[in-house]
Amino acid sequence: MDTVVLPAAFALGFLSGFKHAFEPDHVLAVSTLLHEEPKLSRALRTGLAWGAGHTTMLVGGVLLVGFFRLPVSESLLAYFEVPVALMLLGLGGWAVWDASRRITALRKHRHDGIAHYHVGAHPHPHAFSIRRAGWPGYAVGLVHGLAGSGALLLLVAATLPSLAASLVYALLFGVGSILGMGLVSLALALPFLAARKEPAFYSLLMGLSGALSIVLGVALLLAL
C-alpha cells in the first residue's frame, strides 16, 4: 500500500470512528447513563469514558486477530450484537424502573402536600464512586467495541499491510469515536439538565430514554 493510500485509510478510520459514535444503539445506551449526571463536565466524562472503553475493545480485537491470525467472517460479526442488545434491555429496564420510582415518589410528595422532589443523590464531593469515575461509561463502551460498524473495523484492519498499520487505524478510529461520543454526551445531557427543575418532565424524559433502549434491544435480537 503506497504512501498516499495509507494516510487516506487512516483519515477514513478517524472519520468513521467519529460517525460511529452517533449510531442509535450508542446514543440510547449513553442516554440511560446521563440522567443522574448533575453537570455537563460529568456528562462529558461519561461520553469520553465510553469512547475509551470502545477503543480498548477495538485495539484488543485487532491484536487478537493479528497475533493469532484468526479468520474474520462478516457472518459471525453479526453475533457481536447480542451482548449489545442484552445491555440495551438491561439499561433500558433500569431507566424505566427508576423513572417509575421517581414518579411514584413525586405523587406521594404531592399527596402529602409537598410539591417538591429531590432528583438524584448528593454524595460527598470528595468521595470516590464508580459513577463519578466514569466506569459505567467505560463498561458500556467495552460492550459496544466489536458491534455494529465497529466490528467491520476488523475486516478493514485485516486488509492493511501490517499489524502496526492495523493498530494505528484502530487507534484513530477510537480517537474519532471518543470525540464523537463527547459531543453526543454533551448534547444528550442538555435536556436532562434543563428538566431537573421539573421533576415530572425529568422522569418522563428518563422513562422515554429507557423505553427506546428496550425497543432497540428487542429489534436487534429479532434481526439476528
Contacts of 34 (CB under 8 A, 6+ apart): 43, 46, 185, 188, 189, 192
Q: How far apart are CA 48 and CA 169, in angstroms?
A: 19
Average pLDDT over residues 75-79: 73
Spans of all domains in the chain = 5-113+133-223
Contacts of 153 (CB under 8 A, 6+ apart): 13, 16, 58, 61, 62, 169, 170, 173
Q: Is the dihedral of CA 93, 82, 141, 47 positive or negative?
A: negative
Average pLDDT over residues 190-212: 90
Q: Is 201 a residue whose pLDDT tops 50?
A: yes
Give 43-67 pLDDT, tens digit per residue.
999 999 999 999 999 899 888 888 8
For residue 133, the model assigns a pLDDT of 57
Where residue 36 falls among pLDDT bands split at 50, 70, 90? Answer: confident
Contacts of 167 (CB under 8 A, 6+ apart): 59, 62, 63, 66
More confident position, 178 or 116: 178
